[in-house]
Amino acid sequence: MAQTGSGKTAAFSLPLLNNLDPELKAPQILVLAPTRELAVQVAEAMTDFSKHMRGVNVVALYGGQRYDVQLRALRQGPQIVVGTPGRLLDHLKRGTLDLSKLSGLVLDEADEMLRMGFIEDVETIMAQIPEGHQTALFSATMPEAIRRITRRFMKEPQEVRIQSSVTTRPDISQSYWTVWGMRKNEALVRFLEAEDFDAAIIFVRTKNATLEVAEALERSGYNSAALNGDMNQALREQTLERLKDGRLDILIATDVAARGLDVERISLVVNYDIPMDSESYVHRIGRTGRAGRAGRALLFVENRERRLLRNIERTMKLTIPEVELPNAELLGKRRLEKFAAKVQQQLESSDLDQYRALLAKIQPTEEGEELDLETLAAALLKMAQGERTLIVPPDAPMRPKREFRDRDDRGPRDRNDRGPRTDRGDREDRPRRERRDVGDMQLYRIEVGRDDGVEVRHIVGAIANEGDISSRYIGNIKLFASHSTIELPKGMPGEVLQHFTRTRILNKPMNMQLLGDAQPHSGNERRGGGRSFGGERREGVVVLAANVVKVAVVMVVVSAVSVVKAVRRVVTTPPVVVVSAVMRNPR
């Protein structure tokens, strides 16, 4: 077990190459990689390692490349084959890949192959390999599914753990910014201006986001490009080549598309969208600071994503410091520094004499007016500044940032802990809210229990944050040894349930499943206060679709006396419409 960038490729390549027979024109080493990019990278590395071994050939087999190209390479009898599970399995079925002489098998980034759904293909491939070969498995994490593979296909395997390079390397500077007061695209441009970097990767969650962010950066004058799974292989390779040779400075990519990418120029990683699990964050920031080089990692965190930030910090055993958004004063200073550097570069040029002669030909529009060279220089400076003005207008005043306290930091809190009503201001005019018995609830099972260290507050926090469902609409929660049950309003949309299935609590997926209708409870028993998501009460539900449907339920229970007051208020008061996209614990 070792993290990204710790030298795993050399660790398995060099010993296997030492035992290779160059005279045998048949695959002797097989390396399985989760993505095309990683397969190409490993193939290039092994080609470089074996360049002084006469007669040794390496071939990369991956989807997106023409079959005739791969078939020609296989007919030449390569000793080393590197490929993705899907394409390797296809060649095995076609009979175009012979593994009968195999002596070494490597599973690189095994946990990522599991996450991408390739693990069944991996098992099928391993089942077709004859006995007598050596197997090496490399992974940043060791889920149970990966351990099952080791028990099934490996004989008395020895586990070697390399301490996380991320927690021990001080040369990766990490920080996060709380998204507040400015859209992420605008903030991203500010951070890019303020940071010193050679090349950067910006990680987003979706393919559409790669295009949107790339377009926004292009409008701001940055040399950027998107990298996602919809690009054909030729275009992907061309984009990566541009990044390597300096023709491209910023790459906007998804986790899968950037898997295995190793470009020495990358000194900045921006997590535009926070990853849903800690392992992905580790892989992301591993794109910079590789092989001991200094790197910088920045994370954008929205308030509702603080729980994910805390999970990352717990996994990495460190506290990531918060940074402020670069202000107008800092931007002006940075722009002036960069402009001054360009001027200094021109001052060192040897052909300035011909431009001095041009200065004499520049005359003022009015006759008799003397030309002040300082004024002329100021005019030329104004012309040369381009779209990024050197004089940045001051920022507009922002409303104070709302202080966010994690649910985990607050701990469990009873409603009685809020103090007497007199301590909470004058609220006699407000209708007193009643807790009423809730009808239609459904019972769900989640695969996290007491043995995992989970508490009720963890479950409530996950449901409230990931589904934007107020905690008052969450019913009874029961903890068992290996699982828990939770009651939620009936008719929860399938998209929300699917999202909850992938949601992690204490770094373990919930895998939520519907068990059926919940049993009715007595009125004085503590319930979540939720309503059905369907039927006559659906008018109080707001459904937002933004990759994952998020649900916010607004309920107001009014007594008969309060209704009369409300009617009187309507007669004398203009109507006010309040639209709430996300409400947490509405009072």
DSSP code per residue over 167-210: HH-TTEEEEEEE--SS-HHHHHHHHHHHS--SEEEEE-SSHHHH
CA of 405: how far to CAs of 259, 318, 586, in Å?
34, 18, 17
Selection from 149, 157, 100 nearest residue 123 by Cα = 149
What pLDDT shows up at residue 3?
58
* Dihedral sign for Cα atoms in the order 461, 463, 468, 472: negative
Residue 503 CA to chain centroid, in angstroms? 14
pTM score: 0.46
- pLDDT tens-digit readout, 62-111: 887 888 999 999 999 999 999 998 899 999 999 999 999 999 999 888 87
511 Cβ partners below 8 Å, 6+ apart?
Answer: 446, 447, 501
Domain positions in the chain are 8-153, 165-328, 429-572
DSSP 444-489: EEES--GGGT--HHHHHHHHHHHH---GGG---EEE-SS-EEEEEE
Residue that has been written with the tokens 């992690």 in this structure: 504
**Residue 17 phi/psi, 5° resolution?**
-65, -30
DSSP state of 54: T
Cβ pair 199, 267 in contact under 8 A: yes
The two tokens of residue 81 are 């084959």
Q: Is 342 exposed, middle or buried (0-12, 13-18, 19+ CB in 10 A)?
A: exposed
398 Cβ partners below 8 Å, 6+ apart?
Answer: 180, 181
Instruction: Give me the CATH topology for the region 429-572.
Output: Alpha-Beta Plaits (3.30.70)
CA of 96: how far to CAs of 20, 70, 72, 80, 88, in Å?
21, 10, 10, 15, 10
Selection from 546, 469, 79, 468 nearest residue 304 by Cα = 468
What pLDDT shows up at residue 546?
36
DSSP-derived 3-state class of residue 164: coil
CATH 3.40.50.300 is held by the domain 165-328: yes
d(Cα 102, Cα 80) in Å, to the nearest integer? 9
Cβ pair 82, 61 in contact under 8 A: yes
- pLDDT tens-digit readout, 345-399: 788 777 777 777 777 777 665 665 666 777 778 888 888 776 677 777 776 665 5
Residue 490 CA to chain centroid, in angstroms? 31
**Residue 540 phi/psi, 5° resolution?**
-90, 10
The two tokens of residue 492 are 């929860």
Cβ pair 202, 188 in contact under 8 A: yes
Neighbour tally for 172: CB within 10 Å: 20
Nearest-5° Cα angle at 42, 124 to 52 = 120
d(Cα 202, Cα 254) in Å, to the nearest integer? 8
DSSP-derived 3-state class of residue 144: helix
Residue that has been written with the tokens 């010193």 in this structure: 196
d(Cα 300, Cα 275) in Å, to the nearest integer? 10
Neighbour tally for 17: CB within 10 Å: 19
Strand (E) or helix (H) holding 251 = strand 250-253
Selection from 476, 479, 475 nearest residue 455 by Cα = 479
d(Cα 320, Cα 229) in Å, to the nearest integer? 31
Residue that has been written with the tokens 């790669």 in this structure: 210
DSSP state of 314: H
d(Cα 561, Cα 559) in Å, to the nearest integer? 5
DSSP 55-116: T--EEEE-TTS-HHHHHHHHHT--SEEEE-HHHHHHHHHHT----TT--EEEE-SHHHHHHT
Q: Helix axis angle, 456-467 relative to 494-502, nearest 10°?
A: 130
Strand partners, 297: 174, 269
What pLDDT shows up at residue 25?
92
d(Cα 135, Cα 121) in Å, to the nearest integer? 16
DSSP-derived 3-state class of residue 513: strand
**CATH of region 8-153:** 3.40.50.300
d(Cα 264, Cα 289) in Å, to the nearest integer? 9
What pLDDT shows up at residue 203?
94
Q: Do domains 8-153 and 165-328 have the same CATH topology?
A: yes
Cβ pair 466, 407 in contact under 8 A: no
List the chain residues with pLDDT less than 50.
165-166, 168, 404-438, 523-587
Cβ pair 213, 219 in contact under 8 A: no
Cβ pair 452, 506 in contact under 8 A: yes
